[in-house]
Amino acid sequence: MTQGQVSTLIERLNVQITAMWILIGLLGVCALVVVLYLVPMLLQVKRTLSEAEKMTKTVNTEIMPKVNSIVTEAEPVVNKSVLLIGTVISSLGSIVDGMRFVGSMLGRRKRNKKED
């Protein structure tokens, strides 16, 4: 290799090394931007989870016992209501049958009067 070829190779290597350092710098900047974006987001997620944990504890310690007592108190009333509704529904069947019978009787009378 001649002296000119060696110096050309060295120049090309220097250009490639410079390009490599520029790429390393850009990667560093990208990493910094990602970290600057992710850190506040992760801190917000941590705060949100902390608040959710507090709310869950509040629900478990304060609200659920009240809900359980309300449900326990309402259970007999609901059971009586369901029994009454069942009774009414079974009575409705008899009432509907009676109304059908009366309707058929009235329909026969009207037909009989029209025939006379």
Predicted local distance difference test score (pLDDT) of residue 116: 56
Give the CA diameter of the chain. Answer: 137
Residues 79-106: b if buried by 16+ CB within 10 A, e if exposed: eeeeeeeeeeeeeeeeeeeeeeeeeeee
Q: What mean pLDDT is reported for the chain? A: 87
pTM of this structure: 0.43
- Could you report the per-residue pLDDT of 15-60, keeping only the tens digit for each? 999 999 999 999 999 999 999 999 999 999 999 999 999 999 988 8
